[in-house]
Structure 1
Amino acid sequence: MANDLFGAREIKIYPNPTRGDLNIQIQNGEKDEKYQYLLFDLNGRLLMEFSHSGNGTVPLNLHSFYTGTYILVIRTSDGDLKYKIMKE
């Protein structure tokens, strides 16, 4: 599980590695803050992009993705956070 403190926010990404169901949990952030999520392959191709506002858990379905390594970028008002995601 990746666990990061970014400003006052706590961000958890689990399970990692994943078989397909990945959760992104944000706590202690601003109630109305908008987060942008970008998923890239290792060649830098953007595979998925979506946004979410506020705290809580966001499910990410990776079942249709091949086994391998991906990069998840979470864009916040304070900057970008990058995570390596392993798909089994």
Structure 2
Amino acid sequence: MEHYSDILSERTIRIYPNPTSGRLKIEIGGYDNSDQCFLCIFNVSGQQVFSIHATSSWTEVDISSQPNGIYILHHCWALSPS
């Protein structure tokens, strides 16, 4: 199975399957319940087609309603309260 993986600070993000025909799985290693992670998916025209507040280390996104193409996942981490 093809996937994309990246290391971000103490966290890792794994996105699979790539390519997908509908359901995209996003795993965030090192996720803490106090983390605030926002995930947005954009098409190549820059239009946001999906957004979600990740509430766990595992998220599944259904993009089956979107046409075939290239999409960009943007993740934003809000600072956790100390």
What is the TM-score of this pair, normalised by structure 1? Answer: 0.78
Aligned residue number for residue 33 of structure 1: 35
Deviation sequence 1:39-69 (CA, Å, 0-9, x none)? 1111111111111234x21000011110111
Aligned partner of 2:54: which letter? H
Runs of at least 4 residues of structure 1 off by over 2 A?
none
Overall identity of the aligned pairs, in %? 26
Cα root mean square deviation, aligned:
1.5
The aligned runs of 1:1-88 (5 Å cut-off) are 1-54=3-56, 56-77=57-78
Paired with 1:14 and 1:50, the residues of 2 have a C-alpha distance of 17
Q: Which runs of 5+ in 2 are unaligned?
A: none
- Cα displacement (A) at 1:77: 3.6
Instruction: State whether residues 35 and 76 of structure 1, in contact with CA within 8 Å, keep that contact through their aligned partners in structure 2.
Output: yes
- Cα displacement (A) at 1:32: 1.3
Deviation sequence 1:4-58 (CA, Å, 0-9, x none)? 111111110000111111000011133310111111111111111111234x210
Instruction: Specify the structure having the higher radius of gyration (Cα).
Output: 2
